[in-house]
Amino acid sequence: MTTPLHVAVIYTDAGGGHRASAHALRSTLEATGRYRVTLINPYKTVIPHLDIFAWFGRRSGEDVYNEVILRRGRTRLACWAFYAGLKLNYVLFEAPATRLLARRFEEIAPDIAVSVMPLSNRVLLNALARYRAGLRTGPAPEGAVLITDWRELARGVWFPNRDDYHAICGTEEARADARRQRRLAPRVHAMGGLLVRPEFAAAAARPAERGALGLDPDRPVVTVLYGAQGSERMVDLARQMARVPQQAQVVFLCGRNAALAAEIDALDLPYPAHVLGFTDRVPHYLSVSDVFIGKPGPGSVSEALALGVPVLLDRSLALPQEAAVLRHVLDKGLGQAFSTLEEFETLYTGALAVAAGERPARRSNTSCSDIVTILDRIAAGRKPVAARHRPISPVPEMRPD
């Protein structure tokens, strides 16, 4: 029996998208039987002592992002300040972080290391090169960056300009960004959409039954989701929806924010409201939804579009890197966006009227099958350790059919 190839996936719990992508990658690859996957959150298990946010406050960098930026909606100046602090953190501690991550690679011996997080990929690749340099036999491990944003916020945020790794991109915009790095251009791989969990592909093929989810089969379904951390904005929207004459039932997915779920559940709303905390049934709820309402997160928007659900996006809470998602949705006519509660009320009323008609076709997302093909090609292209100093031929770009 062939030994499964070992893939190390580097992720962060800052926001839900990186974790979701890491788990989607593990589920998809391990389902083939050809891979085993180790998930590594360096902020928790490798370099927690190098976190300057924890040095100067009571919260880690991940907690600051989740609790201040996301839950409290500080998505403008505070968000940029956080990104600057995170970048400074890596600049100050690049050498020890590289050394410690290389040591982790020595312990687990990955065949491929894949990052699904930005800003830190120079450290990842330097650590992988350090680990590779100490090997004496066998195929050399490969590195890859799988971008979970619609595109780079700025040049180099995801893709360092070097030729010792692969770039895996789910959108045309991200592929264009990666190819601008001349040394990286021959190693850019295309997926048919941002990576989503296999459960979403299954839900697209076989939607859930509304009754099985505790929903009324005869009422339109509206799903509200503001990421894994939720947002206080959902309370405002719940109240605003009460101003709209409607027959809809609304599902509020509050993620890990138990206080938010309790606050919404306590509201006296004139429409059926189903309030849930963290659940693994998001694909099922989206599969029966007629409207999706939320922030323009690339992951949740990709999931909704893969299931053919029209989106109504809150641009007031858009993170800097989510502007590209808004542009794509609006330019392609895949949904609408609002800023004020008054604007939301108008668009929501119109969305409910449209929901009474025929549901739009879902947008095919082939990322689950594409990522396996890409990793297979990367694995097949590994060179012996003895050849690591010789030029490595680029792996041809994989394009979805």
Cα–Cα distance, 74 to 6 (Å, whole number): 39
Select from 228, 229, 267 the least CA-distant residue to 250. 267
From-to residues of CATH 3.40.50.2000 in the chain: 198-355
**The pLDDT of residue 75 is above 90:** no
DSSP state of 211: G
pLDDT score recorded for residue 391: 47
Residues in the chain: 401
Q: For residue 25, give Cα distances in angstroms to 119, 364, 390.
A: 20, 18, 30
- Angle, helices 258-265/233-241, rounded to nearest 10 degrees: 20
pLDDT score recorded for residue 2: 79
Cα–Cα distance, 176 to 23 (Å, whole number): 26
| Contacts of 305 by beta carbon, 8 Å cutoff, 6+ apart | 193, 311, 334, 362, 363, 365
Mean pLDDT for 272-287 is 93
Cα–Cα distance, 144 to 167 (Å, whole number): 6
**The pLDDT of residue 397 is above 70:** no
From-to residues of CATH 3.40.50.2300 in the chain: 5-47+93-196+367-387
pLDDT score recorded for residue 317: 87
Sheet (strand 291-294) strand order = 273-276, 249-253, 221-225, 291-294, 311-314, 335-338
**What is the tens place of the pLDDT at every residue in 357-370?**
656 556 689 999 99
Cα–Cα distance, 310 to 86 (Å, whole number): 35
More confidently predicted of 1 and 385: 385
Residue 15 banded pLDDT, cuts 50, 70, 90: confident
Q: Regarding the domain delimited by 198-355, which CATH topology (the fold level of the hierarchy) does it fall under?
A: Rossmann fold (3.40.50)
Q: Which residue has the tokens 């945020």?
A: 157
SS3 assignment, position 363: coil
Structure pTM?
Answer: 0.90
**The pLDDT of residue 393 is above 80:** no
Q: Which residues of 177-305 form beta strands (DSSP E)? A: 188-190, 221-225, 249-253, 273-276, 291-294
Look up the CATH number of domain 5-47+93-196+367-387: 3.40.50.2300
| Contacts of 57 by beta carbon, 8 Å cutoff, 6+ apart | 64
| Contacts of 283 by beta carbon, 8 Å cutoff, 6+ apart | 197, 199, 200, 202, 203, 303, 307
Instruction: For 242-262, give the DSSP string.
Output: TTS----EEEEE-TT-HHHHH
**What is the tens place of the pLDDT at every residue in 312-349?**
999 998 999 999 999 999 999 999 999 999 999 999 99
**What is the tens place of the pLDDT at every residue in 202-214?**
888 888 899 999 9
**The pLDDT of residue 387 is above 60:** no
**The pLDDT of residue 240 is above 60:** yes
| Contacts of 181 by beta carbon, 8 Å cutoff, 6+ apart | 155, 156, 159, 160, 161, 162, 167
**The pLDDT of residue 67 is above 90:** no
Classify residue 351 by burial, with Cβ atoms within 10 Å: 0-12, 13-18, 19+. Answer: buried
Q: Is-contact 174 152, C-beta < 8 A?
A: yes
Cα–Cα distance, 131 to 102 (Å, whole number): 5
